[in-house]
Structure 1
């Protein structure tokens, strides 16, 4: 019964050696090739070969694992391009007159600037205008403050080396110059007058326009921002003769009015604003399902020295984005019908660790000065305005005014121009870091445009078209003719649109699949085999700890045995009689000793022979038994001998 209990397997048993653990693993694991490590214990060459092969394969496996984890933590993305067909929301369309209008509040200052500019043209190029000749007599003795502060003059390029801010010239037709090697510009200095430079241009047209624009900004800055003063500007009907979308006439709820300092009055259609009508949508492509407008392109009472182009400025943008005509607009020519076909594309980027984009701009340390959603252009302009206020102490007029600030005017900030042009040069070279701060949005909608042109109205239909315009819109055909009107068509070329979506190339599911594929390739096993490897590692650690503790305990026991004293040997006592009168051994005095001699006869050397191990063991055991019997017989004879004596 006891033997059966001992033969039963215990609840927790462990391996007694590394060899036993290794043999058990190699014989029972599901990993291919490991059994070859234990099935050839008598062939060391095969065992060594399979050990080397197993180690090399294991190394290659984890090398592939390292490559996969490296790709995973580099966060690559895949671009999926889809073509969708759906009812398309129409974008916002902004149309500007392409000419800044004259404000009544600063009319006298603008007229003075025009007179001074014509006088500068006469002094530099000998240009004479009828207006200049008629006004010279009445204003001969008057000198303008503008001409005293920032005179426009000829400059020798050799004297300007290292004393100017380089600036890319605007593409304009260059005026013929008598001094071909000379530039034209104006001088700008800081408040102390120690740091000065010349803002120079090689083109006379560029120089006149920039000089006029600089003074024009200062004049506009004097207009009160909260006075509610009415501006002498044209009405909607004077600029847009006709407007239709999906063959329905446009209403006042379809557009908003704004004013651009360089492009004049602007009207934005289909803008996303509170209380606006339903957004426009196109379910079919073509001109009849888009926006059609007839625009007036006359240039009367405008600023010819600031605007040198006739026609209209058009920009297509998102409904919740502000228009930037100077950045993304295009011009349409008078006397032509311009047809703009659009194709829509949406981009959906992955944020976070996959790309450097922002969801709504809330994580960017640049305040949004525009009343709109985040765009990269909105952020860049806001960043420049913030740098302008911080360094120059005033705000640039072409961008929104920050709270509690005022626009730059050299009547208040005499030398703000020096600060502005230097800051603009740093902005263009990205020394301000605005382009790095302003990240691209994760979700973006773009409209790709293509244009077609045709003569409008045609010679055959011009008479009745102009007659209808003169009757309905008071259009002066005699004064303007074909150059006074233009037609614009904006429509979708197709109801399908392309969407570009980023997705992770290697997510967690794909990573596990690739790891499993590599494991199966090199070892032909599964997830359970990985568990077996984990179990092997655990067993190796456990058996190492157990063997270490066992060895440590053994050393302690050996040290204790060596340090302890050996016990006194106890001699065997034999009871010879049961007579109570005879004194027993316990009653003997402590000074009596009984010596027992163990007499063992010498071995018979002549009888030594070679025997097997078993015979040796048997003979050894028999000799021990015989020796024990002789000892016992000698001890029994000793008391009898003493009695006889």
Structure 2
């Protein structure tokens, strides 16, 4: 005979809801029903369960959880504010209608996911956008450009003739190299930086040789007060408004410095910081006085054509370049020509680029620019693309040719390149090629990753010229003016300029607005939709679990076991 047990339990009421203690298992014979009736008189509820056939409690509990979740999901669908989802859980609709709304809702989710993925892909592939800044740049917020002027004459005739007659062998070789490019120095010849610098100063045209008169705004000035001699890739030249070497180079001894004079108030200008209130306006670099030729720089230049010995081009006159005051000018490649006998006007157009601080969070390879403290250079104090390119040429020329050009920064252990060193010219040409062209031509060189500065000021020019008839307050014949003199004026054409701003294409708020707009448009999704889902799926089930857990704390009914 299978033993049986009689479970006698008290009725349990929680929150006025009657909780059924469980299904009544049928007894195997009438004897046990009688015992149930007997004990039922003592206890309100008596249940008899067969001991030999216990129920799987875990399976029952899991089934109850699943049914509860399904019921809550159904309630969520019936009450959800998402478009079309309430029809999916509506039991009054046919199966076909509910399937139709389920497919429609699923398609809307797919469309939303597709467009959101497009937004994300666009942000990952090109996370930066360049747009016009809503604020114009005032003219006094940027410096007047540095202007470098070089006479095309590489050697004064009187000095060249002296060298040919009584100069040293090294001077003669340097002269031949400068004019004809025929000399390559061997290792036995000790050409120091000082000897080359002295040679260039002797044969070149200094500021006092070139500048006839100078005017800054309405004030006539001594040219030696505002111009300084400089060594460039064109030899000895004259520069205006360029920062002193100690403000450009990390170690001013790394460059061949000439006798230069600067005012006491030199401002350590940087494109990223700009000018501050401590600058009084008279410092170096100078700021524009205003727009128009009468508020710019005007100079009269003397080419002294009769003293030409050899020219860097096939003509006579001057090369001029405008650059950022913190940069080394590339005169040989980018200088424009001014011919004697003409008055030339240069209208300056600045290109002002700025970047928001949020751009720092984007990887450098994605934004393609450097902030000033992100790329320290070995020889230059301040980063710019031109300075980075110059330093890259130093590294590549020294690696390829074991020498460095005289006009670039160097240390004492580096050998000097000849003035027209073919190895350096070839290395420079390869470096100036675009990376793709270098790869196609199978030319190897160090990739210096010289991106643009995130904050920069560059200058472009619009040049016009007309024949120069006479020079005021100077007694020169028309023929002499036509052959030797140049009138040059550089000025800004406007007091306000548009600047461009580089910033992330999306910040978190923009991304949230774009994705939220798509989800709201397609399925009616909002932040409260998440709260709804959490409420129906988790909160109500948790609440039901707490109630059931409280019912389990009621004392168990006595158990009576009977055997046959």
Using the size of structure 2 for normalisation, the TM-score is 0.65
Verify: 1:439 aligned to 2:448, yes or no: no
The equivalent residue for 1:324 is 330
Match of 1:94 among 148, 151, 155: 148
SS at match of 1:100: strand
Q: How many pairs were matched up?
A: 438
Contact 1:15 1:21 in 2 (8 A): no
Distance 1:341 1:436, change over 3 A: same
The equivalent residue for 2:208 is 237
Residue correspondence of structure 1 range 153-192 to structure 2 within 5 A: none
Contact 1:298 1:484 in 2 (8 A): yes
The equivalent residue for 2:94 is 43
1:300 offset after TM fit, Å?
Answer: 4.5
1:109 offset after TM fit, Å?
Answer: 6.2
Distance (Å, rounded) in 2 between the aligned partners of 1:386 and 1:482: 45
Match of 1:255 among 224, 227, 251: 227
Q: Which runs of 5+ in 2 are unaligned?
A: 1-9, 20-63, 248-263, 267-281, 547-559
Q: Deviations over 1:254-278 (max 9, x none)?
A: 222113453x432211223363452
Contact 1:40 1:46 in 2 (8 A): no
Distance 1:212 1:56, change over 3 A: same
Distance 1:258 1:425, change over 3 A: closer
Distance (Å, rounded) in 2 between the aligned partners of 1:49 and 1:307: 81
Verify: 1:384 aligned to 2:438, yes or no: no
Of stretches 328-337 and 352-361 in structure 1, the one that deviates more from structure 2 is: 352-361
The equivalent residue for 1:166 is none
Q: Deviations over 1:469-517 (max 9, x none)?
A: 35xxxx7x59945212111111111112120112322221111112211
Distance (Å, rounded) in 1 between the aligned partners of 2:178 and 2:237: 22
SS at match of 2:214: strand
Distance 1:569 1:304, change over 3 A: closer
SS at match of 2:474: helix
The equivalent residue for 2:523 is 523
Contact 2:145 2:241 in 1 (8 A): yes
Distance (Å, rounded) in 1 between the aligned partners of 2:206 and 2:398: 34
Q: Deviations over 1:6-57 (max 9, x none)?
A: 53799xx977434312222123332232222232356222222222223232
The equivalent residue for 2:191 is 222
SS at match of 2:291: coil
Higher relative contact order (CA 8 A, sep 6+): 2
1:96 offset after TM fit, Å?
Answer: 1.6
Distance (Å, rounded) in 1 between the aligned partners of 2:561 and 2:132: 97
Residue correspondence of structure 1 range 114-193 to structure 2 within 5 A: none
Distance 1:104 1:377, change over 3 A: farther
The equivalent residue for 1:84 is 136
1:238 offset after TM fit, Å?
Answer: 3.1
Distance 1:308 1:47, change over 3 A: closer
Q: Deviations over 1:244-263 (max 9, x none)?
A: 1111123444222113453x
Distance (Å, rounded) in 1 between the aligned partners of 2:77 and 2:465: 82
Contact 2:344 2:466 in 1 (8 A): yes
SS at match of 1:32: coil
SS at match of 1:30: coil
Q: Deviations over 1:341-388 (max 9, x none)?
A: 112221235563342111237437xx544x463232322232222122
1:436 offset after TM fit, Å?
Answer: 5.8
Distance (Å, rounded) in 1 between the aligned partners of 2:423 and 2:335: 28
The equivalent residue for 2:181 is 213
Q: Which runs of 5+ in 1 are unaligned?
A: 116-143, 147-207, 411-415, 547-566, 572-645
Verify: 1:270 aligned to 2:282, yes or no: no
1:64 offset after TM fit, Å?
Answer: 2.8
SS at match of 1:407: coil
Contact 2:155 2:310 in 1 (8 A): no
Distance 1:250 1:325, change over 3 A: farther
Distance (Å, rounded) in 2 between the aligned partners of 1:50 and 1:240: 86
The equivalent residue for 2:431 is 427
Contact 2:289 2:296 in 1 (8 A): no
Distance 1:537 1:242, change over 3 A: farther
Verify: 1:55 aligned to 2:87, yes or no: no
**RMSD between aligned residues:** 4.4
SS at match of 2:148: strand
The equivalent residue for 2:4 is none
Using the size of structure 1 for normalisation, the TM-score is 0.58
Distance 1:253 1:3, change over 3 A: farther
Distance (Å, rounded) in 2 between the aligned partners of 1:294 and 1:305: 20
Residue correspondence of structure 1 range 485-564 to structure 2 within 5 A: 485-533=485-533
Contact 1:221 1:408 in 2 (8 A): no
SS at match of 2:319: strand
Distance (Å, rounded) in 1 between the aligned partners of 2:239 and 2:18: 88
Contact 1:100 1:307 in 2 (8 A): no
Distance 1:440 1:432, change over 3 A: farther
Contact 2:468 2:487 in 1 (8 A): yes
